[in-house]
């Protein structure tokens, strides 16, 4: 037994120092933690309990995507931010705090990034005889492509077992099951000792909204074997609510894009198609075959496929068989039960809800942009087309695009608005048929007109500018309304006028009516006296004078206007300009219609305000 020793002053001081040191270290540790977690935006992600393996473990081994993904945890990483109870959604809140459209005049940062190099979103099939190579994008047409490539490798063996290039032939035919697929091109090149420059590469892509609706139906309704899986929770938490589901996926795909989590197997159905196949550095090498939306135009795709394969060295009859087989591919996934089509229900709900459509546009903007899918469904303002001559206050009558009064009436009409700055490009009217379209830019009542054959003329301008681009210098000190040149993503030069200078330079393109944001240092100045300053634009912006700025046409009205003005004469009167920075170079106009050369004049604005076109 150790005898009790009364504490001395020295021992007391030592004990106090030790306790003080422990308290100081603990306090410092907590302070560092607090500053680290509270001085920055922190997204807390709940990872699975077991460590995730890298997909790279299966590269080049011909393993199926599902097998590779099944090696990983079945529990998806989720953000800790809870979704509202009872399947409610914050989609409206997201749209109220971010621009409601990802178009050329909206900062792309609000959209999901495009052309990311995400690991193992590659699945290649190759035929040595024809040097045809396809990259399989995860959508409803993957089995068709596998069957097609299996058919090309051994037609006789394929037909003896499968009889036709049907949707599931590749999975039902033994030798097709053994067909090797590749998760990277290096392994393919090594196995076949082939040169990529000899390949004919192609991929099939699908309308993004249709693809999303199918993926939603498949994931949440039509895959019974997934019902008890941990990642089914994303469907269960939303209680059949598509807005809730889109909100969760909007956040989830952004986390995947930032590299904080890896995709799970069910994510492949929702991941943007432009992330697959290393399109970020190879899209120009592919023949992209676009499947139209909502089941339309399968015959056209079939013909394109047949022509592509025939031109690639496939026997004509075989190429036609491949093309014809595409028409057997069903757009919609399997039904849950008799008369129960969740895909159609989902598609109708999405298409009828502008908020959901705009959210999906943010997710799949680059799919729409680069795969040329139709974007008209994403706004209440729908395009409509009219023919007319640009004029001052003198009406120029036209009939089916031609002057009704002879050359004496259809003269060149030049005008200058006094308040129109001399630094702007001059606008000169001439005898040109105009195509007037709706364009969502600064406000709802915003349109632009382009001349016929503007694409052809724009191409000529591109060629001329390319030859003379050495005449122009890069500038950093840029003034508003200054005439400049800017490059697009394809390296083409465009004429424009500076409309704003924030983090980037906002430029109104005078030959397309669009607005782009470009970095400082990538803007070229046009010298004074240069011929580009005097060449008239191919497009001009306008608003309908007297129509409320927040007025947005419905699809019904646009169709009514198109029907009402089909065989009429129309002209434009310039009423003035509008000079706010987002619509630099625009005009206030009135549009006038005559149903016959001697008939009374009708003002389009008055007809719109009287709800005339809602009755047609």
Domain boundaries, the chain: 85-378, 390-614
> CATH 2.30.30.140: does it fit domain 390-614?
yes
| Torsion angles phi and psi, residue 223, rounded to 5 | -125, 80
User: CA-based Rg of the chain, rounded to a whole angstrom?
Assistant: 31
505 closest CA partner among 514, 494, 517: 517
With contact defined as beta carbons under 8 Å apart, do 437 and 384 qualify?
yes
Could you give the CA distance from residue 295 to residue 210 in angstroms, rounded to a whole number?
A: 9
The tokens for 119 are: 């690991």
pLDDT score recorded for residue 100 = 37
The string of DSSP letters for 140-176 reads TTHHHHHHHHHHHH-HHHHHHHHSS--TTHHHHSHHH
**Residue segments in the chain with a per-residue pLDDT below the cut of 70:** 1-110, 140, 162-164, 166-175, 223-231, 293-299, 330-340, 372-446, 448-457, 534, 536, 555, 558-559, 562, 565-572, 574, 576-586, 597, 615-616
Is the separation of the CB atoms in 437 and 450 below 8 Å? Answer: yes
pLDDT tens profile 455-506: 566 777 777 777 787 888 888 888 777 888 998 877 778 888 887 787 888 8
Q: pLDDT for 296-346, tens place per residue?
A: 556 677 888 888 888 888 999 998 888 888 877 766 555 545 555 888 889
Report the SS3 class of residue 454.
helix
Provide the residue count of the chain.
616
- What lies within 8 Å, CB to CB, of 155 at 6+ separation is 318
Give the pLDDT of residue 275.
92
Pairing of strands 539-544, 586-594: parallel
- pTM of structure: 0.52
Question: Which residues, at least 6 apart from 72, have a Cβ–Cβ distance to it below 8 Å?
Answer: 52, 53, 55, 262, 264
What is the bridge-based pairing of β-strands 428-429 and 434-438?
A: unpaired
């Amino acid at each position: 037994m150790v005898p009790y020793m009364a504490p001395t002053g020295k021992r007391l001081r030592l004990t106090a120092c030790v306790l003080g040191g422990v308290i100081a270290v603990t306090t410092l540790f907590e302070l560092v933690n607090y500053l680290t977690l509270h001085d920055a935006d922190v997204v807390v992600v709940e990872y699975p309990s077991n460590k995730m393996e890298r997909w790279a473990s299966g590269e080049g081994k011909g393993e199926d995507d599902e097998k590779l993904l099944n090696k990983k945890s079945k529990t998806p990483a989720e953000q800790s931010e809870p979704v509202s109870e009872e399947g409610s959604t914050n989609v409206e809140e997201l749209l109220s705090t971010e621009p409601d459209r990802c178009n050329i005049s909206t900062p792309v940062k609000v959209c999901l990034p495009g052309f990311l190099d995400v690991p193992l979103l590659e699945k290649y099939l190759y035929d040595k005889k024809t040097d045809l190579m396809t990259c399989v994008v995860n959508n409803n047409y993957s089995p068709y492509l596998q069957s097609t490539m299996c058919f090309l490798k051994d037609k006789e063996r394929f037909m003896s077992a499968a009889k036709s290039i049907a949707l599931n032939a590749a999975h039902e035919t033994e030798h097709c099951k053994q067909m090797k697929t590749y998760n990277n091109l290096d392994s393919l090149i090594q196995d076949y000792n082939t040169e990529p420059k000899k390949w004919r590469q192609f991929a099939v892509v699908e309308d993004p909204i249709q693809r999303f609706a199918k993926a939603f139906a498949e994931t949440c309704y039509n895959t019974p074997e997934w019902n008890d899986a941990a990642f089914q929770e994303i469907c269960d938490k939303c209680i059949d609510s598509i807005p809730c589901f889109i909100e969760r996926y909007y956040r989830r795909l952004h986390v995947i894009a930032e590299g904080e989590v890896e995709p799970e197997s069910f994510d492949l159905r929702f991941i943007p198609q432009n992330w697959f196949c290393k399109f970020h550095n190879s899209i120009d090498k592919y023949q992209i075959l676009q499947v139209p939306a909502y089941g339309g135009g399968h015959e056209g795709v079939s013909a394109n496929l047949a022509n592509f394969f025939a031109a690639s060295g496939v026997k004509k009859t075989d190429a036609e068989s491949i093309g014809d087989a595409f028409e057997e591919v069903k757009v919609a996934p399997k039904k849950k039960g008799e008369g129960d089509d969740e895909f159609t229900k989902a598609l109708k709900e999405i298409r009828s809800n502008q908020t959901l459509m705009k959210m999906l546009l943010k997710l799949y903007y680059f799919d729409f942009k680069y795969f040329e899918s139709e974007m008209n469904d994403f706004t209440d303002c729908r395009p409509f087309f009219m023919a007319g001559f640009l004029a001052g206050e003198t009406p120029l009558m036209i009939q089916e695009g031609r002057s009704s009064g002879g050359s004496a009436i259809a003269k060149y009409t030049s005008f200058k608005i006094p308040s129109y700055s001399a630094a702007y490009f001059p606008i000169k009217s001439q005898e040109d048929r105009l195509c007037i379209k709706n364009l969502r830019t600064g406000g709802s009542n915003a349109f632009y007109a382009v001349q016929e054959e503007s694409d052809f003329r724009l191409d000529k301008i591109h060629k001329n500018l390319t030859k003379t681009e050495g005449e122009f210098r890069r500038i950093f000190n840029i003034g508003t309304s200054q005439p400049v040149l800017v490059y697009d993503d394809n390296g083409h030069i465009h004429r424009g006028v500076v409309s704003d200078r924030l983090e980037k330079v906002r430029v109104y393109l005078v030959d397309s009516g669009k607005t782009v944001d470009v970095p400082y240092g990538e803007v070229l100045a046009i010298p004074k006296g240069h011929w580009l300053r005097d060449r008239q634009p191919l497009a001009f912006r306008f608003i309908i004078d007297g129509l409320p700025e927040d007025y947005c046409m419905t699809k019904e009205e646009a169709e009514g206007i198109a029907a009402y003005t089909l065989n009429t004469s129309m002209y434009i009167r310039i009423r003035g300009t509008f000079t706010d920075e987002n619509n630099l170079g625009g005009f206030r106009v009135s549009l006038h219609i005559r149903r016959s050369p001697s008939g009374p004049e009708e003002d389009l604005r008055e007809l719109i305000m009287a709800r005339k076109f809602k009755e047609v």
